[in-house]
Amino acid sequence: MNFLTFNNRFPTELACIEHFIKLRYAKGVVCPHCGATEHKIYHKSKTPKNFNCCNCNNDFSIFTNTIFYKSDTDLRKWYFAINAMINSKKGISALQLKREIDVTYKTAWRMLKLIRSAMGNADMSKAFEAIVEIDETYVGGKPHKENRNDDDNNPPKPPLKRGRGTSKTPVVGIKERNSKRVHATVALPNSDGQTLTGKQLFKILDTVCKDDTIVMTDDFSSYNILDRNPDKFLRLTVNHSIGQFATRNGIHTNGIESFWALLKRGIYGIYHHISTKYLQNYVNEFCFRANNKNNAFNALLTNCVFI
Ligand SMILES: [Zn+2]
């Protein structure tokens, strides 16, 4: 939604609240305390976001169990932040949002964090079928200049390893060919300190993909586990180590690799540094944008409700 459309649709906070009520209570407002339906529920005067149920005489807010609950920030500012986040291909920084909606840096940072948590609030179990591509990437920064200890006594260390074998954090991504939807997850070390084991990759695929999905991979040895389970998935391989990036019959992982390119441009260009602790939230943000090209705004407001 561009800025003019946004302004026309949500000129006041009341317009935002009415829009949220329509989305959250499509079948009519329900009391969360006793389950009474619309004809027993009344708006509280002067507070359009609060209702009173005359069946159990309890009050409730339309924002219960949502990211907006108990927030003092104007809902218009929230909507603006959501819209800005959806519109910017590589995301928006807390500093930028602070300037745009005139809140403190801390508030802007918190808002973005909560919006990201809503972006990750989608059930992806067995969501993919037919043909998927799977690949991994590594995210993380180089050490700070002052921490490198390069001087006459300490000669410069060799450059950090790139790709597999690096100390950066691995992220595994799966892209469905037909719908172009993406699911990506940070691969944390198992109890032996290993990441990207065959078992780990298989588990991720098994969670997201239906049985009999065709899985396109490169020649990374951890994917060999798929060859040992042919009754679950059919693996097709493109051999990156010999410089092959696509076969004539369309086996490649270029789709998920273009997603990595965008994720990295966002992380290094907008967010600069992300700790492993929060990395999954940022990955969710990029997945949400890739998966919700149409009507992303309402999709996000629906995801805001955690039940
Ligand atoms: Zn009630």
Query: What is the percentage of the chain residues whose pLDDT exceeds 70?
Result: 92
pLDDT digit string (tens) for 181-204?
999 999 988 888 888 999 999 999
Q: How far does the centroid of ligand 1 lie from the alpha carbon of residue 62, in Å?
A: 13
Look at residue 255 and tell me if it is in a domain.
yes
CA of 57 to the centre of ligand 1 (A): 6
- Answer whether residue 298 is part of any domain: no
Residue 307 belongs to some domain of the structure = no
**Span from the CA of 49 to the centroid of ligand 1 (angstroms):** 16
Domain membership of residue 122 (yes or no) is: no
* 8 A C-beta contact, residue 236 and residue 226: no
Side chain identity, residue 243? G
Task: For helices 105-119 and 276-291, give the axis angle rounded to 10 degrees.
Answer: 60
Q: Is residue 28 part of a domain?
A: no
The alpha carbon of residue 261 and the mean position of all alpha carbons in its chain are separated, in whole angstroms, by 16
DSSP percent split of the chain into helix, strand, coil, nearest 5: 40, 15, 45
Look up the pTM and report it: 0.89
**Gap from CA of 41 to ligand 1 centroid (Å):** 8
CA of 265 to the centre of ligand 1 (A): 49
Neighbour tally for 150: CB within 10 Å: 10
The total number of structural domains in the chain stands at 1
Q: Is residue 167, in this structure, part of any structural domain at all? A: yes
Can you give the residue range of the structural domain that contains 256? 131-142+158-291
**Looking at the predicted structure, is the pLDDT value of residue 123 above 80?**
yes
Which of 3-12, 35-44, 258-267 shows the lowest mean pLDDT across its residues? 35-44
204-227 pLDDT tens trace: 999 999 999 999 999 999 999 999
On whether residue 68 sits in a domain, the answer given is no
CA–CA gap between residue 207 and residue 273 (Å, rounded): 29
**What is the C-alpha separation between 81 and 285, in angstroms, rounded?**
13
CA of 8 to the centre of ligand 1 (A): 35
Distance 15 CA to ligand 1 centre (A): 25
Cα-to-centroid distance, 39 and ligand 1 (Å): 11
CATH number at residue 220: 3.30.420.10
Residue 61 within a domain: no
